[in-house]
Each structure stands twice: as structure tokens, then as C-alpha cells.
Amino acid sequence: MTRLSHLTLRNFLIALHDLLATTAALFVAFYLRFEGGDGFYERLPLLFQILPYFLAFSVVVFFIFNLTTTKWRFISLPDALNIIRVATVLTVALLVLDYIFVAPNVRGAFFLGKVTIILYWFLEVSFLSASRMAYRYFRYTRVRRHARTDDAAPTLLIGRAADAEVLLRGIESGAIKRIWPIGVLSPSSSDRGQFIRNVPVLGGIDDVEDVIADFAKRNKPIARIVMTPSAFEPEAHPESILMRARKLGVIVNRMPSLESGDTPRLTAVAVEDLLLRPSEEIDYARLEALIRGKAVIVTGGGGSIGSEICERVVAFGAARLLIVENSEPALYAVTEVLAGTTAEIEGRIADIRDRERIMRLMAEFKPDIVFHAAALKHVPILERDWSEGVKTNIFGSINVADAALAAGAEAMVMISTDKAIEPVSMLGLTKRFAEMYCQALDHDLAAAGRGAKPPMRLISVRFGNVLASNGSVVPKFKAQIEAGGPVTVTHPDMVRYFMTIREACDLVITAATHALGTQRSDVSVYVLNMGQPVKIVDLAERMIRLSGLQPGYDIEIVFTGMRPGERLHEILFASEEPTREIGVAGIMAAQPNEPPMQTLRKWIAALEQAIARDDRATIRTILKDAVPEFGSTAA
């Protein structure tokens, strides 16, 4: 009934067209078979009797196979297959009608005959397809004409045929405007010399300078290069493409991957694109099944991670979203971005340290899932201001966990960090303590509900550096290069893991789907697969080169020394921390030590007293007792 309720006048006109095409196919098949002689006119009365019933049946077949509801502008191979299916079903129906009903019961002989039925099949396919293909061609030529005349920039596409074909479809449909593709450069030798949607593959990626020079000689200068996702694979040498293009004065854009549902729009190429490892395959249907129709709270929703989680849960169909943020400008910015979405968005100013405020907000909102992204995260700052890190990262997390439980949430997901593994900084130490509290509460809830589903799951998800997040090294290097240098790196051997905000947040939600699976998992700490580590000095040199400058000549790289709380190499798992596969791409399970809640509460009470006295020595002693591995891997 839902499909029927959405039918429009256009759908009825399409159905009328298909009925006329079917009628014409049947009569033409008769005429051709019986050559316009007496046999044709003798059969007409019976044919007119049968026709209304056959056409009524045809309408049902058209609707079942989506012919009535398919937009002709986008007709494609699946639609052509549907036309063949419709013609086959109707042909079989004529066969049954002739051989089972008409021949033995009416005429005593075959009425249609095999030749007529075979002719009908070919004519039905042709008549149903002709108008559709003509309309598609008309729209295609009109869009191409507009694309060429509306100040379109002559453009060279770089990437494999499959990626280029997606981009060309976007241009043909009008989704991508103001560029006109004149050629493709592909890293695949099998693509060369071929045509993709009537656009030639002119050579390999190394031919970019020759191709641009050749078009310039012909007074057809290439104004833009568009790099598709396959152009960013390591074997394609994307840095070389960018550097050559900049020397030639050609604008370079990129087309984002369409795997996550992005529209095919062009964006500027950023250095972050060159750090990307192959993304994990994410089951978006699984994420939508978890989020759709739910009430979600995101703490720290104005930060880089929190705001992306907000956007993702809205994209996956959350019914209501409460954004908790203590920064007024950050809260305003994220609510403005989400304004106009289908979800009911509410933003509230609150500090997670304020236990009563957080308890009251969650009790009023009644969330299904809480994503806890609020934290103090800057390592050197927290090394100086210990007590503030303890108040926010430990007591704030306890407040959020307790409030989520009291409000009846299904799950609380805490954003943790790889620095919580054998921590050497106050950031890692406070995050590890918060993990332990969530672990202990999750364990106690499972034990209390033994044999039944626990009232709530509490999990922590660890990952490393996020590209373009607040405080990330990439924006810092960009600003230093724009200022003329120097670019400051703490140590020549400093290594870090990187991933995109989008992938990190999607994997965080994926971890929640695992924790809330039909069979209760005993995992409460998840670790994201961060891929290969990146040497920070190499990153600095690449960014300088991509700016058209030379490291050490135009821009100096200065080593400033390691800062308090830093280590040279981040680690993903502790030496005394068992790990295991959970069968989810991009995510591993960690099983760190799990002190009982009774012991944790003693430490928490002692911490409260030490914080009140601002007794840093006692704070450090308590945290060292709670996390004995603190400082064990300090560089």
C-alpha cells in the first residue's frame, strides 16, 4: 500500500504508455504473422475479447517489476533487465492463454501460435525500450550541452575506469557542474587506449605533463585535474601528481569515496588525503539498525569528534539528539550545521563535572544511547593542570556513566585514547581510570542480571590521532608553512597513528552494535585498527613539498624536544593486556585489568579529598595505585 499511495500522475502516464506499447506489440505481431490476410481479420474479434484481461494483467506486471515507478531520465541496465523480465512474463502468459485456455476450449486449434508469441516478445522489448531510451538520450545530450557551454573548465580525470565512470555519470546527471572532461589518465594499463562513456583514456598517470602540454599546444588548455579515490592509492604516487599540477598552475580537486553515501561533489585536495590508508569496510545497514528511531545524547558534541558523531547519528536516522557542550560557540556551531535535519535536535550548555546538572538533563531526555566524547585532551596542558584533568576525565565520566544508567539508557560509549595503554601522561592515566570505572560498572550490571539482558552496556573505544581534529598536528603544520616557517617537530623519531574523523566515528558506532548484539559480549574495551604509523618529520616534509616549497631551504624544520607526557611511539595494546578478534573489520577487543567496583570507589573517595586540597602528590599516588603500569614505557 505504501508504494501505491506514492503514485503520481506521471506514473499513470507511464503505465498508459506501456499499455499502448503492449497493445501495439500484440497487434503488430499478429499482423506480421498472418500478413494482413484473412487469418488476421478472422482472429480480431477474439483478440479484442482477450485484450482487456491481458492489459489488466500487464498493468500488474509493470508495477511488480517497477516499470511504472522508474524515472526514465536514469534508465540503466537494471531497468533494461526489468523490461526483459516483463516481456518474458507477458509472453509466458500468452503461451499459457493460447495452449491451455483458448486452443482446447474455444477454437479447437492454436489461436496465437508459436511464431506470433516469439514475435511478440521481441516487439514488446523494443516498444517498451524505445521511448525510454529516446528520452534518456534527449536528457543526456541536453545536460552535456549545458555542461560544455556554462563556463565549464576543461578537466583531466585521474584514476581507474570504475572511479572515472562514477564521476562521468555525475557530470551527465547534472550533479557535478562547471567541468568538462576531456580525458582520463589511469594507473591501470588495461584501461589505456579505451573510452569511458565516450571520454578517452589518454595514458598513465606519469603522462600528466605531456598530456597537459599537448592540449596547451592545441589551444585547449586544461584548467583542472580531478583525482578520484584510486588516484590516492600509494602506487599512484598522489604527491607526485599534486606537485606536478602545482608547477603547471592547474587546479586540483578530488572526488570523495561514495562508499559512505557521499554525493559526488568535488572538494579541494588536502594533505590528509595523502595519509589515508585503505578504509575498513563498514556495514552501514548495521549502524542504521542500531541508531534509527533512537534518542541519542552526545557529550562534548561541539568538539571535532563529538560533532562528527552528532552528524553520523543524524545521518543514520536518530529520532532525537541532545548535544551537551560547555562551550557556547561550539554548541551554536554544531546545532547550526544540523539545523533542518529530520531529527529533533536540542543543544544544552552543561559541564560534565556538574553531577546534578548532568543527572537532570539525562533524566529529562531519557536517552537510548549516550556517546561520551567530552574530555580534556591536550597532553602538555594536562601535565601542568593535573587536577583539571581528573575533574573532567575521571569525575566527569563517572557522572555521565551514572546519569546514563539512572536515565535507563541501553548503552554508554566512552571515547577513549590509545594513550590510555600503559599511560605515560595524565591524559592517558585519567582516561584509563575512566575506562576502569566503566568496565567495573558494566561487569556489575552483567553479574546482577545474570541470565537476563543487563539494563545497560558500558564500553570504551580507544583510537589514536584524528586528522584535522582540534589540536591535530596537520593544521598546526599548515599554519606554520603559511607563516613562512619554521615547522616545529618535537623529535626526529616521533611516530603517530592517524585516521579520518569519519571512519573513527563510524567504527565507534560499529563497536556499540557489537556490544549491544543479540548475544551479550563480555568485551567492554575496544581498540580501532589505526593502520600503519606515520613518522611526524616525514609528514612535515611532505606538507612542505606539497606547498611547492623545499624542506630545509624554503622552510626549516626545527626539533623542539619532547614535551611532558609524550612518548616516541604510540602503542595499541599493553604488554599485559590480552587481545582478541571479535569478527568485526577494523576493531579489536582489549581485555585490560578490571579492578572491582569496591576498590575503585575507595580510590574515587580518596581522589575527591585530594582534589579538594589540591594535593598533587596524593593524586599521583592514588592514580599510580590504580594504574600500576603508569610511566612504564616512558621514552
pLDDT of residue 396: 94
Q: Quick check: 430 pLDDT over 70? A: yes
Q: Quick check: 151 pLDDT over 60? A: yes
Neighbours of 623 (CB within 10 A): 22
Q: Quick check: 262 pLDDT over 60? A: no
pLDDT of residue 260: 46
Residue 352 three-state SS: coil
374 band by pLDDT with thresholds 50, 70 and 90: very high
397 band by pLDDT with thresholds 50, 70 and 90: very high
Tell me: the pLDDT tens digits for 527-569? 887 667 778 888 888 778 776 677 877 888 888 877 766 666 6
Q: Which residue has the higher pLDDT, 543 or 212?
A: 212
Q: Which residue has the higher pLDDT, 273 or 27?
A: 27
Q: Within 13 Å, how many C-alpha atoms sit on residue 146's CB side?
A: 12
Of the given ranges (139-153, 307-321, 369-383, 443-457), which has the lowest mean pLDDT?
Answer: 139-153
Please give the Cα distance from 315 to 505 (Å, whole number).
Answer: 12
Q: Quick check: 108 pLDDT over 70? A: no
Residue 615 three-state SS: coil
Percentage of the chain exceeding pLDDT 70:
83
Read off the C-alpha cell for 180.
568538462
Average pLDDT (12-29) is: 86
Task: Supply the pTM of this predicted model.
Answer: 0.67
pLDDT of residue 161: 84
Tell me: the pLDDT tens digits for 215-260? 888 888 888 888 887 887 777 777 778 778 877 778 888 776 554 4
pLDDT of residue 349: 95
Q: Which residue has the higher pLDDT, 96 or 270?
A: 96
Percentage of the chain exceeding pLDDT 90:
18
Of the given ranges (96-110, 156-170, 244-258), which has the lowest mean pLDDT?
Answer: 96-110
Task: Write the CA distances from 336 to 307, 310, 321, 339, integer angstroms.
Answer: 11, 12, 14, 5
CB 196 within 8 A of CB 126: no
Read off the C-alpha cell for 361.
538533563
DSSP state for residue 517 in the 8-state scheme:
S
pLDDT of residue 635: 34
Q: Is 562 exposed, middle or buried (0-12, 13-18, 19+ CB in 10 A)?
A: middle
Please give the Cα distance from 279 to 585 (Å, whole number).
Answer: 10
Please give the Cα distance from 533 to 275 (Å, whole number).
Answer: 10
Residues 6+ apart with CB under 8 A from 362: 297, 370, 403, 404, 406, 407, 409
Tell me: the pLDDT tens digits for 42-91? 777 777 878 888 888 888 888 888 888 777 766 777 788 888 898 888 88
Q: Quick check: 499 pLDDT over 60? A: yes
CB 361 within 8 A of CB 331: no
Please give the Cα distance from 191 to 186 (Å, whole number).
Answer: 7
Q: Quick check: 392 pLDDT over 90? A: yes
Of the given ranges (219-233, 234-248, 299-313, 392-406), which has the lowest mean pLDDT?
Answer: 234-248
Residues 6+ apart with CB under 8 A from 37: none
CB 110 within 8 A of CB 98: yes
DSSP state for residue 395 in the 8-state scheme:
I
Neighbours of 337 (CB within 10 A): 14
pLDDT of residue 351: 94
Q: What is the mean pLDDT of the chain?
A: 81
Q: Within 13 Å, how many C-alpha atoms sit on residue 188's CB side?
A: 12
pLDDT of residue 334: 93
Q: Quick check: 424 pLDDT over 60? A: yes
H, E, C per residue of 603-615: HHHHHHHHHHHCC
Read off the C-alpha cell for 230.
584510486
Average pLDDT (201-216) is: 85
Please give the Cα distance from 598 to 608 (Å, whole number).
Answer: 16
CB 187 within 8 A of CB 236: yes
CA nearest neighbour of 242 among 546, 513, 541: 546
DSSP state for residue 532 in the 8-state scheme:
S
409 sits in which H/E element: none
Radius of gyration of the chain (CA): 32
Most confident of 447-451, 466-470, 491-495: 491-495
**Residue found under cell 541519542:** 296
Tell me: the pLDDT tens digits for 572-608? 555 666 677 777 777 778 777 778 889 999 999 998 8
Q: Quick check: 182 pLDDT over 70? A: yes
Of the given ranges (8-12, 501-505, 516-520, 618-622), which has the lowest mean pLDDT?
Answer: 516-520
DSSP state for residue 396 in the 8-state scheme:
I
Of the given ranges (139-153, 344-358, 418-432), which has the lowest mean pLDDT?
Answer: 139-153
